[in-house]
Structure 1
Amino acid sequence: MIGIVGIAVIFVMVFGGYVAAGGKLGIILASLPFELAMIGGAAIGAFLISNDLAAVKQTLRDIGKVFKGTRWKPADYRDLLCLLFELIRLARSNPVALEEHIENPDGSSIFARYPRIQHDPDAIELICDTLRAASMNYDDPHQVEEVLDKRMEVQMHHAMHSSHSLQTMADGLPALGIVAAVLGVIKTMASIDQPPEVLGRMIGGALVGTFLGVFLAYGLMGPFAARVKAVVEEDAHFYQLIREVLIANLHRHPANICIEVGRQNTPHHVRPGFGDLESALRDLKQEAA
């Protein structure tokens, strides 16, 4: 919702200020379809050249993050800690029983209690692969920690691709605006024999290209890229929490301590309260009893 409000503010303040200063929208509206076709079409074409089909689809999906915001909410972080607590406790008490859950998470009764997490393949693979590695009796937990760090670095790099693509488009739009403006000037020079009022309209139309390129770059595309990056970085805390808890488990800390390590390393605005989490864990213990 805040994204829509931001776009509305941009348009109202830019075009409202222009009209309030005595500007006339007629010349902008007359040139807009042609300038937009040249600048927008060239930007889209360049985007398609520099990305494969998978990256194009990912970017189109990620644009929705500008308006939807982060995927993981405070309740999801609490559920994740509860899920990890159940899995760690089961791994300590009955490692054989744990195998059926990490080998088939789609059919797991434990994962099924947390459907939002169960439907995220990145979270499930990270949890299951790390627990599977722990069952292989690694002598040095730092080995698993290093593997996790590299894996999350690759995952983060992939998730950031949309932001980088949008920022590249934002960087190129002002130059494409100049291209459109130059074409408008060329058109004007071909009509140099026309009266001044006609030439004035033609020059004004050519300058719309420069305006549009800069406006789209810094008013829309750049902020879109920045917002997508911020959402990706925020959602990355969810996977970082998995890492913190499972690494603590590899160091053989008690299950409650592992969960508290994860809770303490969660950003404050999504961190479950200590009492709220304790109550949820207590309910899990009672159900298992």
Structure 2
Amino acid sequence: MIGIVGIVCTFIMVFGGYLLAGGKMSIILKSLPYEMTMIGGAAVGAFLVGNSFPQVKHTLKDVGKIFKGPKWVPDDYRDLLCLLYELVRLGRQNPVALEEHIENPAESTIFANYPKILADKEAVAMICDTLRAMSMNYDDPHQVEDVLSKRLEENLHHSMHSSHALQSMADSLPALGIVAAVLGVIKTMGSIDQPPEVLGKLIGGALVGTFLGVFLAYGLVGPFAVRLKDVAEQDGHFYSLIQEVLVANLHNHATNICIEVGRQNTPTHMRPSYADLEEALKARKAA
């Protein structure tokens, strides 16, 4: 919702200010379809040239995140801590019983209690792969932490692609606006024998290209890229939480301490309170 409000505010302030200053929308509206075809078409073409088909699909899919925001909400962080608590506790009490849950999480009664997390392939794979490695005596905390850090870095790099692609498009739009404006000037020079009132409209139409390129770059596409970057970074904290808890487990801290380490490392605006988490853990123990 806040994204839509921002877009509406941008349009109202820019065009409202233009009209209040005595500007006429007729020149802009008349030139807009042609200028938009040149600038927008060139930007889309450059985007397709600079990205593979899977990357294009990934970017288009991520556009919805501009308005939806991060995938993970505070309740999901609490559920993740509860899930890790159950798995870590079971792994210490009965390592053999843990294997059936990490080898086939889709059939696991523990994972089934957290359907949103179970639906996320990367979160499930990260948990199961790490716990499986621990069962094979790959339990050096520093090595495991290093492996998980590289995995998190790779995941973040992948999720940042949409932001980088949109930022590249935003960077190109002002220059494409100049291209459209130059073409408009060329058109105007072909009518140099026309009276001033005709030339004025032609020059005004040409300048619409420059305006449109800059407006799209800094008013829409650039902010979209920044928003996607922020969403990717926020969602990345969810996977970092998995690392924090499982590495703490390798240091042989008590299960409750491992979970508290994860809770303390959760971003402030997503962090469940100690009382809320304790209540959720008691409910899971009772179940």
Deviation string, structure 1 residues 10-59 (Cα, Å, up to 9, x no partner): 00000000001000000000000000000000000000000001110111
| Post-superposition CA distance 1:104-129 (Å, at most 9, x none) | 11111111100110001111111111
The structural deviation recorded for 1:94 is 1.0
Partner residue in 1 for 2:189? 189
2:214 corresponds to which residue?
214
Instruction: Give 1:285's aligned residue.
Output: 285
The residue number in structure 1 matching 2:106 is: 106
Aligned to 1:138: 138
> Which letter maps to 1:259?
I
Aligned equivalent of 2:225:
225
Instruction: Count matched residues.
Output: 287
CA distance in 2, matches of 1:217, 1:3: 16
User: What does residue range 264-283 of structure 1 map to in structure 2 within 5 Å?
Assistant: 264-283=264-283
Equivalent residue of 1:27, what SS?
A: helix
| In structure 2, C-alpha distance between the alignment counterparts of 1:138 and 1:171, rounded to whole Å | 46
Which residue is 1:19 aligned to? 19
Separation in 2, partners of 1:125, 1:62: 22
Equivalent AA in structure 1 for residue 50 of structure 2: S
2:278 maps to amino acid:
E
Specify the alignment match of 2:198 in structure 1.
198
Offset at residue 139 of structure 1 (A): 4.8
Show the counterpart of 1:69.
69
Instruction: State the SS of the aligned residue for 1:269.
Output: coil
Q: CA RMSD in A?
A: 0.7
d(CA) in 1 for partners of 2:155, 2:69: 19
Residue identity (%)? 72
Counterpart residue number, 1:250:
250
Provide the C-alpha distance between the structure 2 equivalents of 1:173 and 1:139, rounded to a whole number of angstroms.
Answer: 51
Provide the C-alpha distance between the structure 1 equivalents of 2:139 and 2:235, rounded to a whole number of angstroms: 31
SS of the counterpart of 1:109? coil
Residue in structure 2 matched with residue 79 of structure 1 by the alignment: 79
- Which consecutive unaligned segments of at least 5 residues does structure 1 have? none
Shift of residue 285 of structure 1? 1.7
TM-score, length of structure 1 as denominator length: 0.98
Query: 1:263 and 1:164 mapped to 2: Cα distance?
Result: 31
Alignment of 1:117-128 (within 5 A): 117-128=117-128
Q: Give, as a single letter, the amino acid of the residue that structure 2 aligns with 1:17.
A: G
Q: Secondary structure at the match of 1:267?
A: coil
Q: By how many angstroms is 1:241 displaced?
A: 0.5
Distance in 2 (alpha carbons) for counterparts of 1:102 and 1:46: 44
Runs of at least 5 residues in structure 2 that lack an aligned partner in the other structure: none
Distance between the aligned counterparts of 2:276 and 2:92, measured in 1? 24
> Match for 2:243: what amino acid?
R
C-alpha distance in 2, partners of 1:260/1:141? 18
Contact in 1 for aligned 2:139/2:250 (Cα 8 Å) = no
Counterpart residue number, 1:56: 56
Distance between the aligned counterparts of 2:41 and 2:186, measured in 1? 20
Name 2:234's counterpart in structure 1: 234
Q: 1:135 deviation in Å?
A: 0.8
> In 1, Cα distance between the equivalents of 2:238 and 2:231?
12
TM-score, normalised via structure 2 length? 0.99
From the superposition, tell whether residues 8 and 160 of structure 1 become closer, same or farther in structure 2 (CA, over 3 Å): same
Any idea what the Cα deviations from partners look like across 1:131-180, whole Å, max 9, x if unmatched? 11111112522111111011111111000000000000000000000000
**In structure 2, how many angstroms separate the alpha carbons of the residues matched to 1:140 and 1:58?**
36
In 2, Cα distance between equivalents of 1:152 and 1:139: 19
Deviation at 1:286, TM superposition (A): 2.0
Deviant stretches of 4+, over 6 Å: none
Checking the alignment, whether the CA contact within 8 Å between 2:69 and 2:231 is kept in structure 1 is yes
